[in-house]
Structure 1
Amino acid sequence: MEVRAIDQQAPFTTKDGSTIRSILDRSNAPVEKQSLAEATIPAGGETERHWHKESEEFYFILSGSGTMELEGETREVGEGDAILIPAGSWHQIQAREDLRLLCCCSPPYRHEDTYFE
């Protein structure tokens, strides 16, 4: 059985500029097909607009609010919102107030699968 406590995971900065803590992924468990991480973006911050060739993502907003842009469509997002980001879709999230969200990727997140303009 694989159990990981979030507060035991060291934070790091992803290629898009968000700070994440891997909860379950290839770095800390025998994960093959998905990854789960907590991301934080401070108020006024944002990820760099990017896309993933392979990974489909879900964002689930745990706290805070901001603006999500996906393929040119923009929406306000906040606590309790789940966002589907299909593979190959340009996206960016901006924090109006401190954002804390879960990021689920399938296949698991890899820096090498993040592409920029």
Structure 2
Amino acid sequence: MVSKENADHYNWGEQCDGWTLMQRQDLSVIHERMPAHTQEIRHYHAQARQFFFVLSGTLCMELEGEHHLLTTHQGLEIPPQARHQARNESERDVEFLVISHPTTRGDRTDLR
């Protein structure tokens, strides 16, 4: 059994947290936390399809120039090759799941 308490933890971006709940070549599931007013680098994945699902808080997802506000228990699919960026524009933490098929390891291109 896996949980946030016993999963491998890592830090990313601007004081953000990730917990790897499942990491296989064909599938990854990550629980992430973004503090208020943080964001990731806009990027895309060549092969991976992703699904972001908000557990708590509000996540702003930019997908190919369109902005989506996701609140608790809402999700958004990100197809391969789609340029996207997760941002927390709120005053409180946002926690969400990122489910990727296949894994995104070695499949990310950052856009600056």
TM-score range, shorter chain: 0.7 to 0.9
Match of 1:20 among 18, 21, 30: 18
With the length of structure 1 as denominator, give the TM-score of the two structures: 0.84
Percent identity, please.
25
Q: 1:113 aligns with which of 104, 107, 111?
A: 107
The Cα shift of 1:79 comes to 0.6
TM-score, normalized by length of structure 2?
A: 0.87
Residue aligned with 1:57, SS: strand
Give 1:78-97 correspondences, 5 Å limit. 78-95=71-88, 96=90, 97=92
Counterpart Cα distance in 2 of 1:55 and 1:84: 11
Contact 2:50–2:77, Cα closer than 8 Å, also in 1: yes
Compare the two structures and name the one with the higher helix fraction: 1
Contact residue 45 and residue 104 of structure 2 kept, 8 A: no
Matched with 1:102 is: 97
For residues 106 and 46 of structure 1, the distance between their equivalents in structure 2, rounded to whole angstroms, comes to: 22
Unaligned runs of at least 5 residues, structure 1:
26-30
Pairwise CA RMSD: 1.4
Q: Which residue does 2:8 correspond to in 1?
A: 10
Cα displacement (A) at 1:40: 0.8
User: How many residue pairs get matched?
Assistant: 107
Q: What are the superposed Cα offsets for residues 16-52 of structure 1, whole Å, 9 maximum, x if unpaired?
A: x252110011xxxxx3421111011101001111111
Q: Note if contact 2:46-2:80 (Cα within 8 Å) is conserved in structure 1.
A: yes
- What code does the residue aligned with 1:55 have? A
Shift of 1:64: 0.7
Moved over 6 A (4+): none
Unaligned 5+ runs, structure 2 = none
Measure how far apart 1:72 and its partner are. Answer: 0.4
